């Protein structure tokens, strides 16, 4: 299992476990994490799974695809260099302990 820590805009933190291959978006929605909607179910067509990845965790992530990059242009909150769509982040051993910050709005 892969531990994922979600940090809310008010500083609250919650940690959940994901299975290998499960997206961070699914870890969030299956644990009813506020602020991660995942409206399209991971099809890269809604951008309601926007997160800011912690700087240390960022280094362990595979690069974004051009399609993810395109969708990051329509997030509700201005993206930063650490923005990702967490439906595209798949849990794996190398990502164990990943920390993501939830933006103030998703739409
Ligand atoms: S869940 Fe829709 S783009 Fe990630």
pLDDT at residue 107 in the model: 86
Spatial neighbors of 53 by CB under 8 A, at least 6 apart, are: 61, 82, 83, 84, 89, 98, 99, 100, 101
Rounded average pLDDT over 2-10: 98
pLDDT at 63: 95
Is 38 within a domain?
yes
List, for residues 26-80, the tens digit of each pLDDT value: 999 999 999 999 999 999 999 999 999 999 999 999 999 999 999 999 999 999 9
What pLDDT band is residue 11 in, cutting at 50, 70 and 90? Answer: very high
Residue 107 domain-assigned?
A: no
Rounded to two decimals, what is the model's pTM? 0.97
Q: Is residue 54 in some structural domain?
A: yes
The answer, yes or no, to whether residue 20 has pLDDT greater than 90, is: yes
- For residue 8, tell me if it sits in a domain: yes
- CATH code of the domain covering residue 24: 3.10.20.30
- In a domain? residue 64: yes
- Residue 5: band (very low, low, confident or very high) from pLDDT cuts 50, 70, 90: very high
Residue 31 maps to a domain: yes
Residue 32 within any structural domain of the chain = yes
Q: Using the predicted structure, report yes or no on whether residue 22 has a pLDDT greater than 90.
A: yes
Q: Please name which of 13, 14, 40, 12 lies closest in space to residue 26, comparing C-alpha atoms.
A: 40
pLDDT of residue 54: 97
Residues in contact with ligand 1 (CB, 6 Å cut-off): 25, 38-40, 42, 44-49, 71, 85, 87
Domain that holds residue 25: 2-101
> To test ligand 1's pocket by mutation, which of 25, 26, 100 has the most ligand atoms within 8 angstroms of CB?
25
């Amino acid at each position: 299992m892969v531990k994922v820590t979600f940090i809310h805009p008010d500083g609250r933190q919650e940690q959940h476990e994901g299975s290998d291959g499960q997206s961070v978006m699914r870890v969030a929605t299956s644990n009813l994490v506020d602020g991660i909607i995942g409206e399209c179910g991971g099809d890269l067509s809604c951008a309601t799974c926007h997160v800011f990845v912690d700087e240390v965790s960022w280094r362990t992530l595979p690069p974004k695809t051009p399609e993810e990059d395109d969708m990051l242009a329509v997030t509700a909150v201005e993206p930063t260099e650490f923005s990702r769509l967490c439906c595209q982040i798949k849990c794996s051993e190398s990502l164990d302990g990943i920390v993501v910050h939830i933006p103030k709005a998703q739409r």
